[in-house]
Structure 1
Amino acid sequence: MAGCDETLTPLPLQLDRVFGQDKLFDQPTYFRSLTGKLQYLTLTRPDIQFAVNYVCQKMHAPTVTDFTNLRRILRYLKGTSHLGLTINAKTGFLLYGFSDSDWAGCRDTRHSTGGLCTFLGSNIISSSAKRHPTVSRSSTEAEYRTLSITATELKWLASFLGEMGISLPDTPQLFCDNLSAVYLTANPALHTRSKISIPTFIMFVRG
Protein backbone atom coordinates (compact mmCIF):
# COMPACT_ATOMS: atom_id res chain seq x y z
CA MET A 1 0.00 0.00 0.00
CA ALA A 2 3.04 2.31 0.02
CA GLY A 3 2.30 3.46 -3.52
CA CYS A 4 -1.49 3.56 -3.26
CA ASP A 5 -3.66 6.55 -4.10
CA GLU A 6 -4.92 8.68 -1.23
CA THR A 7 -8.59 9.16 -0.38
CA LEU A 8 -10.44 11.82 1.59
CA THR A 9 -12.74 9.58 3.65
CA PRO A 10 -12.07 6.31 5.52
CA LEU A 11 -15.29 4.66 4.26
CA PRO A 12 -17.53 5.10 1.19
CA LEU A 13 -20.80 6.95 1.67
CA GLN A 14 -22.98 4.05 0.51
CA LEU A 15 -21.60 0.95 2.17
CA ASP A 16 -24.35 -1.31 0.83
CA ARG A 17 -23.48 -0.57 -2.81
CA VAL A 18 -19.85 -1.68 -2.86
CA PHE A 19 -19.02 -4.56 -5.21
CA GLY A 20 -18.31 -8.03 -3.79
CA GLN A 21 -20.52 -8.12 -0.70
CA ASP A 22 -21.45 -11.79 -1.14
CA LYS A 23 -18.00 -13.13 -2.07
CA LEU A 24 -15.83 -14.25 0.86
CA PHE A 25 -12.27 -12.93 1.04
CA ASP A 26 -9.78 -15.76 0.47
CA GLN A 27 -7.27 -14.58 3.14
CA PRO A 28 -9.30 -14.06 6.36
CA THR A 29 -6.20 -14.37 8.61
CA TYR A 30 -4.51 -11.54 6.72
CA PHE A 31 -7.68 -9.45 7.06
CA ARG A 32 -7.80 -10.02 10.84
CA SER A 33 -4.10 -9.17 11.19
CA LEU A 34 -4.49 -5.79 9.46
CA THR A 35 -7.69 -4.98 11.33
CA GLY A 36 -6.09 -5.79 14.68
CA LYS A 37 -3.21 -3.42 13.97
CA LEU A 38 -5.63 -0.60 13.13
CA GLN A 39 -7.30 -0.97 16.53
CA TYR A 40 -4.13 0.29 18.22
CA LEU A 41 -4.02 3.29 15.89
CA THR A 42 -7.48 4.44 17.03
CA LEU A 43 -5.91 5.46 20.37
CA THR A 44 -4.41 8.52 18.66
CA ARG A 45 -6.66 8.70 15.57
CA PRO A 46 -10.28 8.91 16.72
CA ASP A 47 -11.28 9.98 13.20
CA ILE A 48 -10.95 6.34 12.05
CA GLN A 49 -12.63 4.83 15.09
CA PHE A 50 -16.01 4.30 13.43
CA ALA A 51 -14.46 2.86 10.27
CA VAL A 52 -12.22 0.46 12.21
CA ASN A 53 -15.16 -0.59 14.40
CA TYR A 54 -17.13 -1.30 11.24
CA VAL A 55 -14.50 -3.59 9.67
CA CYS A 56 -13.89 -5.29 13.03
CA GLN A 57 -17.48 -6.51 12.94
CA LYS A 58 -16.60 -8.47 9.78
CA MET A 59 -13.61 -10.37 11.16
CA HIS A 60 -15.38 -13.73 11.51
CA ALA A 61 -16.20 -13.98 7.79
CA PRO A 62 -14.75 -11.06 5.79
CA THR A 63 -15.92 -10.51 2.23
CA VAL A 64 -14.19 -8.89 -0.73
CA THR A 65 -16.13 -5.72 0.09
CA ASP A 66 -14.83 -5.73 3.67
CA PHE A 67 -11.24 -6.00 2.42
CA THR A 68 -11.92 -3.14 -0.01
CA ASN A 69 -13.13 -1.03 2.91
CA LEU A 70 -10.06 -2.01 4.91
CA ARG A 71 -7.79 -0.91 2.06
CA ARG A 72 -9.70 2.36 1.86
CA ILE A 73 -8.87 3.06 5.53
CA LEU A 74 -5.18 2.51 4.72
CA ARG A 75 -5.46 4.87 1.74
CA TYR A 76 -7.07 7.47 4.00
CA LEU A 77 -4.29 7.08 6.56
CA LYS A 78 -1.63 7.59 3.89
CA GLY A 79 -3.11 10.96 3.00
CA THR A 80 -3.61 12.02 6.62
CA SER A 81 -0.43 10.73 8.25
CA HIS A 82 0.26 14.23 9.58
CA LEU A 83 -2.87 14.14 11.77
CA GLY A 84 -2.91 13.07 15.41
CA LEU A 85 -3.90 14.10 18.91
CA THR A 86 -2.48 17.29 20.33
CA ILE A 87 -2.80 18.46 23.93
CA ASN A 88 -2.93 22.22 24.40
CA ALA A 89 -2.20 23.50 27.90
CA LYS A 90 -3.51 26.97 27.14
CA THR A 91 -7.16 26.13 26.64
CA GLY A 92 -10.46 26.78 28.37
CA PHE A 93 -12.46 24.44 30.58
CA LEU A 94 -15.67 24.30 28.58
CA LEU A 95 -16.86 20.67 28.46
CA TYR A 96 -18.75 19.61 25.34
CA GLY A 97 -19.36 16.54 23.22
CA PHE A 98 -20.50 15.38 19.78
CA SER A 99 -22.85 12.48 19.09
CA ASP A 100 -23.72 10.66 15.88
CA SER A 101 -25.18 7.33 14.79
CA ASP A 102 -26.02 5.43 11.65
CA TRP A 103 -29.23 3.43 11.34
CA ALA A 104 -29.28 -0.32 10.79
CA GLY A 105 -25.73 -0.20 9.48
CA CYS A 106 -25.15 -3.92 10.06
CA ARG A 107 -26.67 -5.89 7.16
CA ASP A 108 -26.88 -9.11 9.19
CA THR A 109 -28.39 -7.92 12.50
CA ARG A 110 -29.74 -4.48 11.46
CA HIS A 111 -28.11 -3.00 14.56
CA SER A 112 -26.96 0.62 14.48
CA THR A 113 -23.51 1.92 15.42
CA GLY A 114 -23.14 5.06 17.50
CA GLY A 115 -20.10 7.25 18.03
CA LEU A 116 -19.16 10.04 20.41
CA CYS A 117 -16.28 12.30 21.31
CA THR A 118 -15.92 14.73 24.21
CA PHE A 119 -13.71 17.79 24.52
CA LEU A 120 -12.36 19.87 27.37
CA GLY A 121 -11.58 23.16 25.73
CA SER A 122 -9.78 22.29 22.49
CA ASN A 123 -8.52 18.92 23.75
CA ILE A 124 -10.37 15.70 22.98
CA ILE A 125 -10.47 13.62 26.16
CA SER A 126 -12.63 10.60 25.25
CA SER A 127 -14.10 8.94 22.18
CA SER A 128 -16.04 5.80 21.37
CA ALA A 129 -17.69 3.95 18.49
CA LYS A 130 -19.83 0.93 19.42
CA ARG A 131 -22.65 -1.08 17.92
CA HIS A 132 -25.97 -0.85 19.76
CA PRO A 133 -27.03 -4.04 21.58
CA THR A 134 -30.60 -3.88 20.23
CA VAL A 135 -32.32 -2.90 16.98
CA SER A 136 -33.55 0.70 16.60
CA ARG A 137 -36.84 1.09 14.73
CA SER A 138 -35.96 4.52 13.36
CA SER A 139 -32.97 6.77 12.79
CA THR A 140 -34.36 9.04 15.50
CA GLU A 141 -34.26 6.20 18.02
CA ALA A 142 -30.70 5.32 17.03
CA GLU A 143 -29.56 8.95 17.34
CA TYR A 144 -31.43 9.46 20.61
CA ARG A 145 -29.84 6.36 22.13
CA THR A 146 -26.35 7.60 21.26
CA LEU A 147 -27.28 11.04 22.64
CA SER A 148 -28.16 9.38 25.94
CA ILE A 149 -24.82 7.56 26.05
CA THR A 150 -22.94 10.78 25.29
CA ALA A 151 -24.90 12.70 27.95
CA THR A 152 -23.96 10.03 30.49
CA GLU A 153 -20.30 10.39 29.49
CA LEU A 154 -20.44 14.17 29.90
CA LYS A 155 -22.15 13.84 33.29
CA TRP A 156 -19.46 11.44 34.50
CA LEU A 157 -16.66 13.69 33.24
CA ALA A 158 -18.22 16.74 34.95
CA SER A 159 -18.41 14.83 38.23
CA PHE A 160 -14.84 13.57 37.83
CA LEU A 161 -13.52 17.07 37.16
CA GLY A 162 -15.46 18.35 40.18
CA GLU A 163 -13.81 15.77 42.43
CA MET A 164 -10.43 16.98 41.14
CA GLY A 165 -11.32 20.53 42.13
CA ILE A 166 -11.82 21.77 38.57
CA SER A 167 -14.93 23.93 38.25
CA LEU A 168 -16.60 24.22 34.86
CA PRO A 169 -17.36 27.78 33.67
CA ASP A 170 -20.62 26.78 31.98
CA THR A 171 -23.09 23.93 31.48
CA PRO A 172 -21.63 21.12 29.33
CA GLN A 173 -22.85 21.22 25.73
CA LEU A 174 -23.94 18.30 23.57
CA PHE A 175 -24.14 18.52 19.76
CA CYS A 176 -26.20 16.31 17.46
CA ASP A 177 -27.10 16.44 13.75
CA ASN A 178 -30.60 14.93 14.03
CA LEU A 179 -33.43 17.41 14.56
CA SER A 180 -35.97 14.83 15.74
CA ALA A 181 -33.60 13.55 18.42
CA VAL A 182 -32.91 17.13 19.51
CA TYR A 183 -36.67 17.78 19.82
CA LEU A 184 -37.04 14.66 21.96
CA THR A 185 -34.45 15.97 24.40
CA ALA A 186 -36.55 19.11 24.89
CA ASN A 187 -39.89 17.25 24.98
CA PRO A 188 -39.29 13.56 25.83
CA ALA A 189 -42.80 12.45 24.90
CA LEU A 190 -42.87 9.20 22.95
CA HIS A 191 -45.23 9.11 19.98
CA THR A 192 -45.42 7.68 16.48
CA ARG A 193 -43.77 10.72 14.93
CA SER A 194 -40.56 9.85 16.77
CA LYS A 195 -39.95 7.31 13.99
CA ILE A 196 -39.46 10.17 11.53
CA SER A 197 -35.99 11.68 11.21
CA ILE A 198 -35.27 15.16 9.81
CA PRO A 199 -31.52 15.71 9.26
CA THR A 200 -30.27 19.21 9.90
CA PHE A 201 -27.14 21.11 10.79
CA ILE A 202 -25.40 20.80 14.15
CA MET A 203 -27.87 21.69 16.87
CA PHE A 204 -27.15 22.76 20.41
CA VAL A 205 -28.60 20.69 23.21
CA ARG A 206 -28.58 22.09 26.71
CA GLY A 207 -27.17 19.61 29.26
Structure 2
Amino acid sequence: MNDHHEDPLREAAAQGLERAVQLTSVAGAAAQFRVQMKAERAREQAEQQQQLARQLRTAHRAARHAARLQWLPANDPAWLKRANLNHVAQAWAATIPYIAEDKAAERTRLKCEERLRQLHPYGMHQYDRLMSEGSAPEQAMRKAAPFFSREPNPRTGHAAPRRRELSPVELAQQDFPMPMAAVLGAKPVATPAVQSARPTHRAALNPKRDHRLRED
Protein backbone atom coordinates (compact mmCIF):
# COMPACT_ATOMS: atom_id res chain seq x y z
CA MET A 1 0.00 0.00 0.00
CA ASN A 2 1.46 3.28 -1.15
CA ASP A 3 0.44 6.24 1.03
CA HIS A 4 0.52 9.66 -0.73
CA HIS A 5 0.75 12.72 1.49
CA GLU A 6 0.41 16.21 -0.10
CA ASP A 7 2.50 19.09 1.09
CA PRO A 8 0.18 21.37 3.11
CA LEU A 9 2.32 24.45 2.43
CA ARG A 10 2.25 23.90 -1.29
CA GLU A 11 -1.48 23.33 -1.20
CA ALA A 12 -2.05 26.53 0.80
CA ALA A 13 0.13 28.51 -1.60
CA ALA A 14 -1.79 27.18 -4.56
CA GLN A 15 -5.09 28.08 -3.00
CA GLY A 16 -3.81 31.57 -2.16
CA LEU A 17 -2.61 32.10 -5.70
CA GLU A 18 -5.97 31.00 -7.06
CA ARG A 19 -7.78 33.41 -4.77
CA ALA A 20 -5.44 36.22 -5.76
CA VAL A 21 -6.15 35.56 -9.41
CA GLN A 22 -9.86 35.57 -8.71
CA LEU A 23 -9.65 38.81 -6.73
CA THR A 24 -7.56 40.42 -9.44
CA SER A 25 -10.09 39.39 -12.03
CA VAL A 26 -12.96 40.72 -9.94
CA ALA A 27 -11.12 43.99 -9.27
CA GLY A 28 -10.36 44.38 -12.97
CA ALA A 29 -13.97 43.76 -13.85
CA ALA A 30 -15.10 46.27 -11.23
CA ALA A 31 -12.65 48.87 -12.52
CA GLN A 32 -13.80 48.29 -16.06
CA PHE A 33 -17.40 48.61 -14.93
CA ARG A 34 -16.62 51.89 -13.21
CA VAL A 35 -14.93 53.18 -16.36
CA GLN A 36 -17.93 52.16 -18.42
CA MET A 37 -20.34 53.79 -15.98
CA LYS A 38 -18.27 56.96 -15.94
CA ALA A 39 -18.20 57.06 -19.72
CA GLU A 40 -21.94 56.46 -19.81
CA ARG A 41 -22.59 59.31 -17.40
CA ALA A 42 -20.28 61.58 -19.39
CA ARG A 43 -22.12 60.65 -22.58
CA GLU A 44 -25.48 61.33 -20.95
CA GLN A 45 -24.26 64.66 -19.58
CA ALA A 46 -22.92 65.62 -23.00
CA GLU A 47 -26.24 64.74 -24.58
CA GLN A 48 -28.08 66.74 -21.92
CA GLN A 49 -25.77 69.70 -22.44
CA GLN A 50 -26.24 69.50 -26.19
CA GLN A 51 -29.99 69.31 -25.75
CA LEU A 52 -29.89 72.24 -23.32
CA ALA A 53 -27.72 74.20 -25.74
CA ARG A 54 -30.21 73.52 -28.53
CA GLN A 55 -33.05 74.67 -26.28
CA LEU A 56 -31.14 77.80 -25.33
CA ARG A 57 -30.40 78.60 -28.96
CA THR A 58 -34.04 78.09 -29.84
CA ALA A 59 -35.16 80.29 -26.94
CA HIS A 60 -32.57 82.93 -27.90
CA ARG A 61 -33.78 83.01 -31.49
CA ALA A 62 -37.40 83.27 -30.33
CA ALA A 63 -36.59 86.06 -27.88
CA ARG A 64 -34.56 87.91 -30.50
CA HIS A 65 -37.37 87.59 -33.02
CA ALA A 66 -39.88 88.95 -30.49
CA ALA A 67 -37.54 91.82 -29.60
CA ARG A 68 -37.00 92.59 -33.26
CA LEU A 69 -40.75 92.89 -33.75
CA GLN A 70 -40.76 95.46 -30.93
CA TRP A 71 -37.91 97.62 -32.17
CA LEU A 72 -38.55 97.30 -35.90
CA PRO A 73 -41.30 99.99 -36.03
CA ALA A 74 -38.84 102.54 -34.62
CA ASN A 75 -36.99 102.46 -37.95
CA ASP A 76 -40.04 104.08 -39.56
CA PRO A 77 -39.75 107.89 -39.21
CA ALA A 78 -43.53 108.27 -39.40
CA TRP A 79 -44.10 105.80 -36.56
CA LEU A 80 -41.32 107.35 -34.52
CA LYS A 81 -42.83 110.81 -34.93
CA ARG A 82 -46.27 109.63 -33.74
CA ALA A 83 -45.02 107.39 -30.92
CA ASN A 84 -45.31 108.55 -27.33
CA LEU A 85 -42.72 108.25 -24.59
CA ASN A 86 -43.83 104.79 -23.45
CA HIS A 87 -43.77 103.26 -26.94
CA VAL A 88 -40.34 104.65 -27.77
CA ALA A 89 -38.97 103.49 -24.42
CA GLN A 90 -40.24 99.95 -25.06
CA ALA A 91 -38.60 99.89 -28.49
CA TRP A 92 -35.37 101.18 -26.95
CA ALA A 93 -35.42 98.50 -24.22
CA ALA A 94 -35.98 95.76 -26.81
CA THR A 95 -32.70 96.62 -28.54
CA ILE A 96 -30.46 96.57 -25.45
CA PRO A 97 -29.78 92.78 -25.17
CA TYR A 98 -28.67 92.64 -28.82
CA ILE A 99 -26.75 95.87 -29.49
CA ALA A 100 -23.40 94.09 -29.07
CA GLU A 101 -24.16 91.45 -31.71
CA ASP A 102 -26.65 93.14 -34.02
CA LYS A 103 -25.81 96.41 -35.78
CA ALA A 104 -29.48 96.91 -36.65
CA ALA A 105 -30.36 96.89 -32.95
CA GLU A 106 -27.65 99.47 -32.24
CA ARG A 107 -28.89 101.77 -35.00
CA THR A 108 -32.45 101.50 -33.71
CA ARG A 109 -31.28 102.31 -30.18
CA LEU A 110 -29.73 105.56 -31.37
CA LYS A 111 -32.89 106.51 -33.27
CA CYS A 112 -35.00 105.89 -30.18
CA GLU A 113 -32.69 108.03 -28.07
CA GLU A 114 -33.00 110.93 -30.51
CA ARG A 115 -36.78 110.75 -30.24
CA LEU A 116 -36.62 110.48 -26.45
CA ARG A 117 -34.59 113.69 -26.35
CA GLN A 118 -37.47 115.42 -28.10
CA LEU A 119 -40.13 113.89 -25.86
CA HIS A 120 -38.35 114.32 -22.53
CA PRO A 121 -35.26 116.57 -22.68
CA TYR A 122 -34.84 116.64 -18.92
CA GLY A 123 -34.70 112.86 -18.46
CA MET A 124 -32.43 112.36 -21.46
CA HIS A 125 -30.11 115.07 -20.19
CA GLN A 126 -29.50 112.92 -17.12
CA TYR A 127 -29.05 109.84 -19.32
CA ASP A 128 -26.51 111.57 -21.57
CA ARG A 129 -24.61 112.82 -18.53
CA LEU A 130 -24.34 109.28 -17.14
CA MET A 131 -23.28 107.94 -20.53
CA SER A 132 -20.54 110.56 -20.76
CA GLU A 133 -19.30 109.40 -17.36
CA GLY A 134 -18.81 105.86 -18.66
CA SER A 135 -22.07 104.09 -17.79
CA ALA A 136 -23.48 101.47 -20.16
CA PRO A 137 -26.82 102.32 -21.84
CA GLU A 138 -28.86 99.98 -19.64
CA GLN A 139 -27.20 101.20 -16.43
CA ALA A 140 -27.49 104.86 -17.42
CA MET A 141 -31.19 104.53 -18.26
CA ARG A 142 -31.91 102.70 -15.01
CA LYS A 143 -30.34 105.54 -13.01
CA ALA A 144 -32.02 108.24 -15.11
CA ALA A 145 -35.47 106.59 -14.98
CA PRO A 146 -36.72 108.60 -11.93
CA PHE A 147 -36.13 111.86 -13.82
CA PHE A 148 -38.59 110.81 -16.53
CA SER A 149 -41.42 111.09 -14.00
CA ARG A 150 -40.82 114.85 -13.75
CA GLU A 151 -41.69 117.64 -16.14
CA PRO A 152 -40.00 117.23 -19.55
CA ASN A 153 -39.03 120.92 -19.64
CA PRO A 154 -38.70 122.16 -16.05
CA ARG A 155 -38.15 125.85 -15.47
CA THR A 156 -34.90 126.13 -13.62
CA GLY A 157 -34.73 129.90 -13.01
CA HIS A 158 -32.06 131.47 -10.87
CA ALA A 159 -32.78 133.48 -7.74
CA ALA A 160 -32.88 137.23 -8.18
CA PRO A 161 -29.63 138.96 -7.19
CA ARG A 162 -29.66 140.69 -3.83
CA ARG A 163 -29.59 144.49 -3.94
CA ARG A 164 -28.02 146.63 -1.26
CA GLU A 165 -30.18 148.89 0.83
CA LEU A 166 -30.36 152.49 -0.44
CA SER A 167 -29.36 155.37 1.81
CA PRO A 168 -31.78 158.29 2.51
CA VAL A 169 -29.81 160.50 0.14
CA GLU A 170 -30.10 157.93 -2.65
CA LEU A 171 -33.78 157.52 -1.92
CA ALA A 172 -34.23 161.30 -2.24
CA GLN A 173 -32.62 161.19 -5.67
CA GLN A 174 -35.01 158.57 -7.00
CA ASP A 175 -37.28 159.85 -9.79
CA PHE A 176 -40.23 157.51 -9.46
CA PRO A 177 -42.92 158.62 -10.01
CA MET A 178 -41.49 162.17 -9.70
CA PRO A 179 -38.37 163.68 -8.14
CA MET A 180 -38.38 163.16 -4.40
CA ALA A 181 -37.11 166.72 -3.85
CA ALA A 182 -40.15 168.08 -5.67
CA VAL A 183 -42.41 165.99 -3.50
CA LEU A 184 -40.78 167.16 -0.28
CA GLY A 185 -40.70 170.84 -1.34
CA ALA A 186 -44.25 171.06 -2.65
CA LYS A 187 -46.58 173.53 -0.85
CA PRO A 188 -49.94 172.34 0.32
CA VAL A 189 -52.81 173.29 -1.96
CA ALA A 190 -55.48 175.46 -0.31
CA THR A 191 -58.87 173.89 -0.29
CA PRO A 192 -62.09 176.00 -0.30
CA ALA A 193 -63.87 176.27 3.01
CA VAL A 194 -66.96 174.21 3.29
CA GLN A 195 -69.97 176.22 4.43
CA SER A 196 -71.97 174.76 7.18
CA ALA A 197 -75.29 173.40 6.15
CA ARG A 198 -76.85 174.21 9.54
CA PRO A 199 -79.28 177.21 9.61
CA THR A 200 -78.18 180.37 11.48
CA HIS A 201 -79.84 181.21 14.81
CA ARG A 202 -80.45 184.86 13.86
CA ALA A 203 -83.11 185.42 11.28
CA ALA A 204 -82.52 187.93 8.52
CA LEU A 205 -83.95 191.45 9.34
CA ASN A 206 -86.89 192.80 7.34
CA PRO A 207 -86.01 196.34 6.00
CA LYS A 208 -89.61 197.72 6.43
CA ARG A 209 -89.79 196.53 10.00
CA ASP A 210 -86.47 198.17 10.79
CA HIS A 211 -87.76 201.53 9.36
CA ARG A 212 -90.90 201.50 11.56
CA LEU A 213 -88.81 200.77 14.58
CA ARG A 214 -86.66 203.83 13.89
CA GLU A 215 -89.76 206.11 13.51
CA ASP A 216 -91.13 204.99 16.86
Which bracket does the TM-score occupy, shorter chain normalised? under 0.3
Q: Whose radius of gyration is greater, 1 or 2? A: 2
Q: TM-score, normalised by structure 2?
A: 0.21
Structure with higher helix content: 2
Structure with higher strand content: 1
RCO greater where, 1 or 2, for CA within 8 Å and sep 6 or more?
A: 1
Q: TM-score, normalised by structure 1?
A: 0.21
